[in-house]
């Protein structure tokens, strides 16, 4: 069970890593954007919330953007606009990211590619209502490094296992590689209990079958 969980975690973290690398490479030419929109309201109020994740040359942006309109004309106009597209999840690809990026307009300072902005404002003159915006910008290198931690441990573990198997096959100490062919037993170099030569169904040097 533990083994199954380990392999599930390893495979899913490799998938995440591959996806992040793909997104990162794609930022050379396009911007990918996943948006989830939800709106509700009535004749005198419209409340629109967008959650989105943007991947662009600036990094990966996590956003929540909310606009509330209370002016009747504005509500009618915006509601008509929104009726063109359904609420829910959409994936968009933009060729000219700078015109379609919320992270592009972050005014907060950027440090090592990270930035965070939480701003509230009244919407444009006469529209009533308000808007609020939360943006977290995280650089691709950071997410890739994070996603690579677990697979690296997995790879190191695998490499260690291969190495000790190879050493045991060659009659060396599996831990330190000391030559134990002359003196099987406990490794005089590191004290590891050396395994007895692995019983294998293959023939020995003199052609006799091992017991
Ligand atoms: Zn040893």
Domains contained in the chain, number: 1
- The pTM of this model reads 0.72
Place of tokens 């990162």: 24
pLDDT at position 160? 92
pLDDT at position 85? 82
**Whole-angstrom Cα distance, residue 89 to residue 208?**
69
**Whole-angstrom Cα distance, residue 83 to residue 60?**
29
Task: Supply 128's token pair.
Answer: 């009533």
**Whole-angstrom Cα distance, residue 34 to residue 141?**
20
Sheet holding 59-69, edge to edge: 88-94, 31-42, 45-56, 59-69, 130-138, 115-122
Q: Compute CA 15 distance to the chain's CA centroid, rounded to the nearest angstrom.
A: 9
User: Distance, CA 154 to ligand 1 centroid (Å)?
Assistant: 23
Sorted by sequence, the CB contacts under 8 Å of residue 68 that are 6+ apart come out as 45, 46, 47, 48, 123, 129, 130, 131
Task: Supply 116's token pair.
Answer: 């965070």
User: Distance, CA 181 to ligand 1 centroid (Å)?
Assistant: 12
Percent of the chain with pLDDT over 70: 87
Residue at 21 is within a domain: yes
pLDDT tens figures, 167-192: 888 888 888 888 888 776 788 888 87
CB 90 within 8 A of CB 37: yes
Residue at 48 is within a domain: yes
Residue at 171 is within a domain: no
pLDDT tens figures, 50-108: 999 999 999 999 999 999 988 888 899 889 988 888 899 999 999 876 677 888 888 88
User: Distance, CA 205 to ligand 1 centroid (Å)?
Assistant: 25
Q: Could you give the count of Cα atoms lying within 13 Å of 108 in the half-sphere of its Cβ?
A: 16
Model confidence at 203: pLDDT above 50 = no
CB 137 within 8 A of CB 131: no
pLDDT at position 179? 86
Residue at 126 is within a domain: yes
User: Distance, CA 177 to ligand 1 centroid (Å)?
Assistant: 6
By residue range, what is the domain housing residue 29? 2-143
CB 178 within 8 A of CB 190: yes
Residue at 150 is within a domain: no
Place of tokens 């600036």: 58
pLDDT at position 83? 84
User: Distance, CA 23 to ligand 1 centroid (Å)?
Assistant: 45
């Amino acid at each position: 069970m533990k083994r199954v969980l380990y392999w599930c975690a390893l495979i899913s973290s490799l998938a995440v890593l591959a996806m992040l690398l793909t997104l990162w490479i794609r930022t050379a030419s396009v911007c990918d954007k996943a948006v989830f929109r939800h709106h509700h309201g009535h004749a005198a109020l419209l409340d629109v919330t967008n959650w989105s994740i943007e991947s662009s040359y600036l990094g990966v942006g996590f956003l929540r953007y909310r606009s509330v309109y209370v002016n009747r004309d504005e509500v009618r106009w915006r509601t008509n606009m929104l009726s063109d597209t359904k609420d829910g999840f959409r994936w968009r690809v933009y060729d000219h990211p700078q015109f379609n990026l919320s992270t592009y307009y972050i005014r907060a300072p950027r440090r090592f590619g990270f930035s965070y902005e939480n701003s509230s404002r009244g919407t444009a003159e006469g529209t009533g209502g308000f808007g609020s915006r939360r943006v977290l910008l995280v650089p691709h290198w950071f997410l890739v490094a994070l996603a690579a931690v677990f697979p690296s441990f997995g790879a190191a573990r695998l490499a260690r296992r291969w190495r000790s198997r190879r050493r045991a096959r060659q009659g060396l100490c599996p831990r330190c590689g000391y030559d134990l062919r002359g003196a099987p037993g406990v490794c005089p170099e590191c004290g590891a209990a050396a395994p007895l030569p692995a019983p294998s169904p293959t023939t020995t040097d003199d052609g006799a079958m091992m017991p």
